[in-house]
Amino acid sequence: MVRAALPGRLSWRAGTVSAVRQETPSARTLVLEIPDWPGHLPGQHLDLRLTAEDGYSAQRSYSIASDWSAASGQVEITIQRLDDGEVSPYLTDVVEPGDQIELRGPIGGWFVWRATQPAPVLLVAGGSGIVPLMAMIRDRGRRRARQPFRLIYSVRTPEDACFADELRRRVRDDPGLDVHFVYTRKTPDGWPTPPKRIDVATINSHGWPPDFAPDVFVCGPTSFVETAADILVALGHDPKKVRTERFGGA
């Protein structure tokens, strides 16, 4: 069912999967071609709707992983498979290049980073919460922006880290970007600490001091976001400077 779009309002449209890229054994990136995409800001997401032949439909939100440049025109989303999930296994295992997907976007205007924000930035990601934060890192890199960025990225095991090679390369090539991993189940060989969850010491040592008044973005499963945001506020960060996005789940 297609209706005329109201000016200024969002409406559903079709996108085509032009390529897929496996990021980890359980996460995959879909590269989407979306006619007339107006561009997006890092941190925005899109909504995706799957409809079965019997009319049953399921809708989910996915953050945009890519930074926008009109030259490339690309929109990428990265999906973490939840084995018991309804939608994510379809996106990670079934969808192929050439398939069409119904979507709307770009969406959101609060959980976004704009290169005009002068403050240093702290990014705190749990699992797939890396996706919108990666768009911010990529946008900063493409613009050669000067704001110092620190990323704290919590994953279960080294194999679960998305974009690991790209992050390593960017730490080398993008001046002012630091990345610290937290491993909750299994660490790489020789890692100085046993597996642990994100805690006060981690954010204290690898974040910015509250006096620097950083812009903070926290994203991931709901319980992760709440833990990290509580720690940040307890450490003295202004709650108004701590922007959060909950992906759901435990």
Partner 1 sequence: MPELDGNALAGDLAEVFAVEMTAARFTCGGCRHSGTVATLRVWTPAPGVVGRCPGCGDVLLRLVRTPRSVFVTLGTTRLELDV
Ligand X SMILES: Cc1cc2nc3c(=O)[nH]c(=O)nc-3n(C[C@H](O)[C@H](O)[C@H](O)COP(=O)(O)OP(=O)(O)OC[C@H]3O[C@@H](n4cnc5c(N)ncnc54)[C@H](O)[C@@H]3O)c2cc1C
Determine the Cα–Cα distance for residues 226 and 246; give it in Å rounded to an integer: 8
Contacts of 112 (CB under 8 A, 6+ apart): 41, 42, 43, 44
| From candidates 98, 110, 172, 192, binder to partner 1 by CB under 8 A | 110
Q: How many Cα atoms within 13 Å fall on the side-chain side of residue 25? A: 6
Determine the Cα–Cα distance for residues 129 and 246; give it in Å rounded to an integer: 8
Tell me the closest approach of the beta carbon of residue 236 to ligand X, in angstroms: 28
By CB under 6 A, the residues from 7 to 66 that bind ligand X are 45, 60-63
Select the binding partner of residue 88 from ligand X, partner 1, none (C-beta < 5 to 8 A, by kind). Answer: ligand X
| From candidates 66, 74, 78, 111, binder to partner 1 by CB under 8 A | 111
| Three-state SS letters, 116-148 | CCCCCEEEEEEHHHHHHHHHHHHHHHHHCCCCC
Q: Which long-range contacts (CB under 8 A, 24 or more apart) does 2-11 make?
A: 10/104, 10/105, 10/107, 11/104
By CB under 6 A, the residues from 136 to 195 that bind ligand X are none
* 3 contributes a contact to partner 1 by CB under 8 A: yes
Residue closer to partner 1 (CB basis): 1 or 71: 1
Select the binding partner of residue 10 from partner 1, ligand X, none (C-beta < 5 to 8 A, by kind). Answer: partner 1
* 245 contributes a contact to partner 1 by CB under 8 A: yes
* 85 contributes a contact to ligand X by CB under 6 A: yes
Sign of CA dihedral 41, 77, 231, 121: negative
Tokens matching residue 175: 């001046």
Tell me the closest approach of the beta carbon of residue 73 to ligand X, in angstroms: 20
C-alpha 223, offset from chain centre? 16
| From candidates 89, 141, 210, 249, binder to partner 1 by CB under 8 A | 249
Piece in contact with partner 1 (CB under 8 A), picked from 102-110, 114-122, 150-158, 178-186: 102-110
Size of the site for ligand X (CB under 6 A): 22
Tell me the closest approach of the beta carbon of residue 222 to ligand X, in angstroms: 8
Determine the Cα–Cα distance for residues 161 and 53; give it in Å rounded to an integer: 36
> Which residues sit at the interface with partner 1, rule CB under 8 A?
1, 3, 6-11, 45-47, 61, 104-105, 107-111, 222, 243-249
